[in-house]
Amino acid sequence: MIRFEQVFKRYPGGREALSGVDMSMASGEMAFLTGRSGAGKSTMLKLIGLLERPTRGQVIVGGRNTGGIGRRQIPGFRRQIGMVFQDHKLLHDRTVYDNVALPLVIRGMRGKDIGKRVRAALDQVGLLHTEKVKPMTLSTGEQQRIGIARAVVCKPELLVADEPTGNLDPDLSLEIMRLFERFNEVGVTVLIASHDLHLIRQLGHRQIELSEGRLVAAEAGHG
Amino acid sequence: MAKPMARSKPRRAGPRRPDIRPKKRPKRQRSKDSPWPPIGGVLIDHARVLVASLGRLLSHPLSTLMTVAVIGIALALPAGLHLLVTNGRALGGHWEGASELSVYLREDVDLQAAKKIAAELRQDPAVAEVRLIDADEALAEFREYSGFGQALEVLPENPLPHVLVILPADDSRSAQAVDALRGRLADALPAELVQADTAWVARLQAMLELARRAVLLAGALLATGVLIIVGNTIRLDIQNRRDEIEVTKLIGATDAFIRRPFLYTGMWYGLLGGLLALALVGGSLLALDDPVRRLSGLYGSGFRLAGPGIAGGAGMVAAGIILGWTGSWVSATRSMRRIEPGGQQ
């Protein structure tokens, strides 16, 4: 599903975020991307979502080399990936319903179909009752679940999350991770960047560890 | 797993099997991962954005009103000036068509003699029409319209001469021919003065031509101004919604999708500005109509101010829409390139 081949990423200013990363993830797999802040976790996720381009090397997502995707093809590419962010990136002037519906609206789906899909997604994260409120009125954990609902509403085959539990207490974090596991169980490939080692060990999936832009270990998990 | 994703690139699947169904390709373009939604979806989205962008404008009426007012005034100015020139030309044409000669006969020519001269002139091939305004008649008319009635009472006798108004024949109406006729009549007739009002008509034409050019220039400048106003307003709007744009880009919105609401906002600004301009011009015409009618009445003319007409009015609104759309398109397209979610860190 995801393959990194000798990927280097140097940001303007000389900082090298990734130096020669080789990594691959099968489809249907669930893995954690770990390492300290600045180890290159976010950069890897950005390369997958084409928010950044590698300086050298190849990033292959869903059998498709991202190097061959032009500017105009990026939107179509991104629609195949569900992305979850630490700060949720919700639109605060719109209702929960409108936020979750956005990916469907972008695809030009009709109102009736949108309603069904949005409610299904909200139901999956257990927040069906919040559809009419603004995200601001919800707790951080609930906002993150709305973010996840938005990421899965289009039924992507790949779900990528950058520190999705960064702002949550341990109980809520576990709840969010269980949610990701549930999507994984139905076949979605899930890659989560996190530095919450305690939580990760508890869940026991494969761990991909980065340190200063290099892969430390890519041991198979037992989950 | 990888298969449905690879579908988005038809080139990849192409060589594997002989393509005997060429119609299949456009169908794949519309597969679920195509960034372009089906046509019906696009239309629905256009309708949705059309309404939503108007709603957004109306949700902050004051700033909308100010922008619309600036656009309206900027459109009304050249339109109003253009109308002024058009009316001026109509007025000039009015008088040029009847570039008459006025022959002021000497005081010693009595009415009988004047009538005889008029009859003779009617035989002249260069003359189409001769009208005699006898002195008494002229005085009565002057007394009635000029407002000098009281002053005229004190004059011992009628100071006005008999006047022959001559309309040259069709083929003698050019400025030169009229001038030649004027010279000939001045020599031949017992006239105090033979006047041909061709020079001022030519001058008026020249002035109107100058004014027309000036209006074109002002129009071009003000149109540029409207483009800049709309462009800047949209730019600010985009800046305010930067986060929203980043988020929608992150989840795979095309530039066209993101740009759409801003284009419609620009279109609404232009439409409302155009309508306001139309109202301003219409109001001004209404306000000027009465005085103009009175003035032209004083000159014994039935001249009325002409409005922009349906075509002109539609043109003003269309100009507003086109300028609004163009301004927002340029602005939105430029801004869209700059806002990339990757560049946020």
B281 neighbors B79 (Cβ within 8 angstroms): yes
Strand partners, B167: B129
Cα dihedral A167/A170/A175/A178 (nearest 10): 100
Taking residues B201-221, what's their average pLDDT?
86
Min mean pLDDT across A160-164, B137-141, B285-289 is at B137-141
CATH no. for B100-196: 3.30.70.3040
| CATH number of the domain encompassing residue A72 | 3.40.50.300
Q: Does residue B2 carry a pLDDT above 80?
A: no
**Interface contact flag, A49 B250, Cβ < 8 Å:** yes
Chain A residue nearest residue B40, CA to CA: A108
Contacts of A110 in chain B (CB under 8 A): 40-41, 44
Give per-residue pLDDT as tens, B91-144: 766 555 556 788 888 888 888 888 888 888 888 888 888 888 888 888 887 777
Q: Which two tokens stand for residue A150?
A: 């938005």
Q: Does residue B23 carry a pLDDT above 50?
A: no
**Interface contact flag, A77 B252, Cβ < 8 Å:** yes
Q: How confident is the model at residue B18 (pLDDT cuts 50, 70, 90)?
A: very low
Tell me how many domains chain A contains. Answer: 2
Min mean pLDDT across A38-42, B198-202, B314-318 is at B198-202
Q: Are residues A55 and A162 in the same domain?
A: yes
- A20: domain range? 1-80+158-166+187-223
**Interface contact flag, A91 B247, Cβ < 8 Å:** yes
Strand partners, B191: B105
Is A171 among the domain residues? Answer: no
Residues of chain B with CATH 3.30.70.3040: 100-196
Q: How confident is the model at residue B38 (pLDDT cuts 50, 70, 90)?
A: low
Q: Are residues A12 and A104 in the same domain?
A: no
Is A176 among the domain residues? Answer: no
Tell me, what's the ipTM? 0.86
Q: Are residues A51 and A105 in the same domain?
A: no
Strand partners, A25: A2
Q: Are residues A26 and A132 in the same domain?
A: no
B304 neighbors B292 (Cβ within 8 angstroms): yes
| Overall residue count recorded for chain B in this entry | 345
Q: How far is CA A222 from the centre of its chain?
A: 21
Cβ-nearest to B248 among A50, A63, A106? A106
Is A172 among the domain residues? Answer: no
Q: How confident is the model at residue B232 (pLDDT cuts 50, 70, 90)?
A: very high
Is A174 among the domain residues? Answer: no
Domain final position from A155, A178, A212: A155
B323 neighbors B230 (Cβ within 8 angstroms): yes
Q: Are residues A74 and A18 in the same domain?
A: yes
Tokens 């061709």 belong to residue? B198
Is A142 among the domain residues? Answer: yes
A114: phi then psi, degrees, rounded to nearest 5? -60, -50
Contacts of B7 in chain A (CB under 8 A): none
Average pLDDT value over all residues in chain A:
90
Q: Are residues A1 and A76 in the same domain?
A: yes
Q: What is the pLDDT of residue B135?
A: 84
